[in-house]
Chain A
Amino acid sequence: MSQVPVTVLTGYLGAGKTTLLNRILTENHGKRYAVIVNEFGEIGIDNDLVVDTDEEVFEMNNGCICCTVRGDLIRILGGLMKRREKFDAILIETTGLADPSPVVQTFFVDEDVKEKTRLDSITTVVDAKHIAQRLRESNEAVEQIAFADQILLNKTDLVTAEELANVEKIIRSLNPLAPIHRTERCSIELDKVLGRKAFDLAHALELKPHLLDGDEHDHEHESGIVSVSLSSAMPLDGDKVTAWLRSLLTERGQNILRTKGILDVKNRDERLVFQAVHMVMEGDFQSAWKPDEKRYSRIVFIGRDLDEAELQRGFSACVA
């Protein structure tokens, strides 16, 4: 049986997550969603497929200090699989204050979860009016944006065009990869939000970070979260680059939230596609470069206190 797609919905309190969830649960879009929520009362819907849970973040005894998983999700996803035929996909709402890493790591670390489900995307709902202040007050609000595969920039009707442009700039400084969808009352075609395949390596054929223009490049957010984008037109040595990434993520994985890359490896016709969440990395050779395609390697790191010069040195040393 195929793996069930799972969308993780994050966002600070009041950003509009509940509005979006209610839309997904009530609109006639031809798909059935099982929804795992934390604040049951907020969803005014009596539905067999809404499951209430308490977030239980557990440390794994596997020698990886930052490796935490959501024990409650492992149990609930296992339970939902017993009535697998009742729904097409799963949505997980995290509390406004949640750090997204344990949720995401659950999908990479637990064998049962990996067998039955696949992470489709981390979608973060952001309130255009209040996000700037939230980001100053809350580390979690920063991480929710840094982790996102896509961002719903909501309540755009409550701010001026100038404020909106400024908010987008802040978001871009934290996460240059995630597409931003501007919405009012979370009004967006749901198939733009769901079914993103953001973690599907076969789907990741290009990596186009939205980099800020020249002089703004060094304006790092006060949270210390930055992104570093590296590229090389020279083919890389496959063994060297793998070894470098492994040791880098082992040593610095606590500060590196997400990494994505598409690499041109010497003597290989296929591109090496990889991604990582903190220390947990997965990669694979995917579709071949086309004959007329410009072959080059690109890696984007999103993390805290990243040393761009050091990363560049490590990366350059991997050229074959």
Chain B
Amino acid sequence: MSEPRLTNGRSWRFDAPVVACAYDINGIGAFALGDGTLRVFAADQPPKTINVHRGAILALSAHPEGGFLTGGDDGRLVHTSVGEPPREIYVHKSRWIENVAVSSESGLIACTSGKTAIIFQGDQATEFTHATTATGIAFDPNKGRRLAVSHYNGASLWWAKSATHEPRVLGWKGSHLSISWSPDGRFLISSMQENALHGWRVEDAADMRMSGYPAKVKSLAWDRRGRALFTSGSSRVVGWTFTGRNGPMGREPVEIGPDRDGIVQVVAAHPELDLIAAGTSDGAVWFEWIGEPGANFAMLNGAKITTLNFSPDGAHLAIGSEDGFAALVQAA
């Protein structure tokens, strides 16, 4: 295995794939790994290992109360705060927890287990069941009381309060693999099996198709003002405009970054600047300013990049890859 070339940062090699990365509300970062551990890092210290899951961690998010929320293939949903033993919130043996979601507005947390999405409020768990597997979940960005769930042939919208009501179903034939709200809550975007995105205007369920990708779109990043959506799935980052009532309908997307052989796997948008970071299938990470062509490479020659996250203050970019290589580089 050749060592990746890194400019300007610290790096580690873990002995399991890096699945995800997140920063908690106190600015502490964590990599989630395929061996069930979290590697928690702060300031200039080396990462600390916390054993959380028995198998692989499949999903990671910052917990609204601090620390991290993880789902694993051991069927457990766990809250890990630094300095405390991990606390199990839910377990269903023989069913993986493949997705987690949180809302800082409502303090609600949720996960998926097979066909069921579960919302947790205090000690109370409410289950929302679908005809097929719940493949992605997201709380609405306004009040955080409405949960969108992607599944086969569309998405369902549930109010967190009660599981007894019928969901509002947004239909579109095919296999939807994940779901994301626009930051203003006006649009829902799903990624599909057929290398395309599908969008709905929430107000009237108007459909939008965003297609033409050579690969599946696995990563979506909204710019800090919520005016554009940057996406993976092509050799360059593809950006769709979401200003105006019609969003991207009838408009050509913009392309950002160098045209290389590798396919962009992950995209991240800087929290304060008009700066995009992308990680590729051939282990490159680059930055580019929106509207100013010309990329700066932060990394080259690594393994497939699996996660990219800007720190909340925008000073650093955390990088994780499939072969266990992880790094923290200075942003821009």
Contacts and interface: CB of A to CB of B under 8 A. Distances in A.
A115 to B, nearest CB: 9
Nearest to A56: B132
A137 interface: no
A83 B132 contact: no
B216 A82 contact: no
A63 B54 CA distance: 42
A112 interface: yes
Given A72-B133, A82-B17, A82-B58, A58 B193 contact: yes
B113 to A, nearest CB: 12
B173 interface: yes
A61 B94 contact: no
A111 B94 CA distance: 27
Contacts of A60: 174-175, 193-194
B266 to A, nearest CB: 14
Interface in B286-331: 323
Nearest to B73: A79
B192 to A, nearest CB: 8
B330 to A, nearest CB: 28
B55 A48 contact: yes
A76 B95 CA distance: 11
Given A60-B194, A71-B133, A111-B216, A82 B56 contact: yes
B216 A54 contact: no
* Max chain B Cβ within 10 angstroms of own Cβ: one of A54, A59, A71, A74: A71
A81 B263 CA distance: 19
Given A59-B174, A83-B55, A85-B16, A75 B98 contact: yes
A168 interface: no
* Max chain B Cβ within 10 angstroms of own Cβ: one of A54, A60, A61, A69: A61
Given A58-B152, A83-B16, A83-B56, A75 B35 contact: no
B17 A84 contact: yes
* Max chain B Cβ within 10 angstroms of own Cβ: one of A1, A69, A76, A79: A79
Given A60-B193, A61-B174, A61-B194, A83 B34 contact: yes
Contacts of A76: 96
A60 B15 CA distance: 36
Given A48-B55, A112-B216, A71 B193 contact: yes
* Max chain A Cβ within 10 angstroms of own Cβ: one of B17, B173, B323: B17
Interface residues of B, number: 32
Contacts of B152: 56, 58, 71
Contacts of A75: 98, 133, 135
Contacts of A58: 152, 174-175, 193
A28 interface: no
A171 B101 CA distance: 51
Contacts of B132: 56, 71
A133 interface: no
Contacts of A61: 173-174, 192-194
A52 interface: yes
Interface in A1-16: 1
B133 A54 contact: yes
B107 interface: no
B185 interface: no
B54 A48 contact: yes
A74 B34 CA distance: 18
B94 A54 contact: no
A61 B152 CA distance: 12
A111 B213 CA distance: 13
B282 to A, nearest CB: 13
Nearest to B95: A52
Contacts of B208: none
A83 B94 contact: no
A11 B193 CA distance: 29
Interface string B266-287: 0000000000000000000000
B40 interface: no
Given A61-B194, A75-B98, A82-B34, A56 B55 contact: no
Interface string B12-28: 00011101000000000
Given A52-B94, A112-B216, A79 B56 contact: yes
Interface string A69-95: 101101110010111110000000000
A51 B74 CA distance: 10
B114 interface: yes
Nearest to B96: A79
Contacts of A40: 94
11 contacts: A1-B323, A40-B94, A51-B73, A60-B194, A61-B193, A61-B194, A71-B132, A71-B175, A79-B58, A83-B73, A85-B15
Interface of B: 15-17, 19, 34-35, 54-58, 73-74, 94-96, 98, 114-115, 132-133, 135, 152, 173-175, 192-194, 215-216, 323
A-B residue pairs, 10 tightest by C-beta: A82-B34, A82-B56, A52-B94, A83-B56, A58-B175, A61-B174, A83-B34, A61-B194, A71-B175, A82-B17
Given A51-B96, A60-B174, A112-B216, 17 more contacts: A48-B74, A51-B94, A56-B132, A58-B174, A58-B193, A71-B152, A72-B133, A75-B133, A76-B96, A79-B58, A79-B73, A82-B19, A82-B34, A82-B58, A83-B56, A83-B73, A111-B215
